[in-house]
Amino acid sequence: MRAVRRPCFACGMTAFSEAERAYLASQRLGRMATVDPHGQPQANPVGYRLQDDGTILIGGYAMGRTKKWRNLRENPRIALVVDDIVSLRPWKVRGVDVRGEAELLVGPHDLGAHLSEELIRIHPHRIHSWGLEDEA
C-alpha cells in the first residue's frame, strides 16, 4: 500500500484509553469532517476500524472519487466523532471525538473486497471522550 499524502508524523500521536478503545470497537458508524479548499466544512457518515497502532482506517466504495478524498488531498486535517445515546431517561450520552491528520493510502487492504483500494488513515493528535466512565 502506498501513501498518497502523508501527515506530519513529527506532530506526534495521542493514545486512546482502554475505555475509548473498547467503545470505538463496539460501534460501527462515525461522522467524519473535512474542510474544502474554500474553508467550508463537510461531514459524512463513515464506517471505520480502530487499528492496534492507534490509527483509524476509513474505507469506502469509491473513496478516491469522493469530495472527502479531494478535501484531504488539499488539507489533511480531519475529525471523527463516534457517539450514541445510552438512555433517554435519565439522559446519558457517550462518545469519542478524534482530531488529527489524514494519510491517504492506495493499495490492497483487508477491510473488505467490496471497498475500493483507497483508504484514509487517521493519525490522532487530540482525543476527547465523554460518558465512558462505566466502560472500563
How confident is the chain (136 residues) per 10-residue block, as mean pLDDT? 47 85 97 97 96 93 92 98 97 97 85 80 97 74
- Per the domain annotation, does 115 fall within a domain? yes
Give the residue numbers spanning the domain of 47.
Answer: 2-130
Counting the structural domains of the chain, the total is: 1
* Alpha-helical segments (H) within the chain: 18-26, 67-74
| CA distance linking residue 4 with residue 127, whole number of Å | 25
- Per the domain annotation, does 109 fall within a domain? yes
Q: How far is CA 63 from each of CA 1, 2, 96, rounded to the nearest angstrom?
A: 15, 15, 24
- Per the domain annotation, does 135 fall within a domain? no
CATH number of the domain bearing residue 15: 2.30.110.10
- Per the domain annotation, does 27 fall within a domain? yes
Report the pLDDT value the prediction gives residue 86, as an integer from 0 to 100: 95
Report the pLDDT value the prediction gives residue 4, as an integer from 0 to 100: 46
Q: How far is CA 83 from each of CA 23, 77, 109, rounded to the nearest angstrom?
A: 9, 20, 26
| CA distance linking residue 135 with residue 110, whole number of Å | 28
**Nearest in space to 42 (alpha carbons), one of 56, 27, 31, 55:** 31
Report the pLDDT value the prediction gives residue 110, as an integer from 0 to 100: 72
Residue identified by cell 466502560 is 135
Give Cα 31 distance to the centre of its chain. Answer: 8
- Per the domain annotation, does 26 fall within a domain? yes
- Per the domain annotation, does 136 fall within a domain? no
Report the pLDDT value the prediction gives residue 114, as an integer from 0 to 100: 75
Q: Taking a C-beta distance cutoff of 8 angstroms, is the pair 84, 27 a contact? A: yes
Q: What is the pTM of this model?
A: 0.87
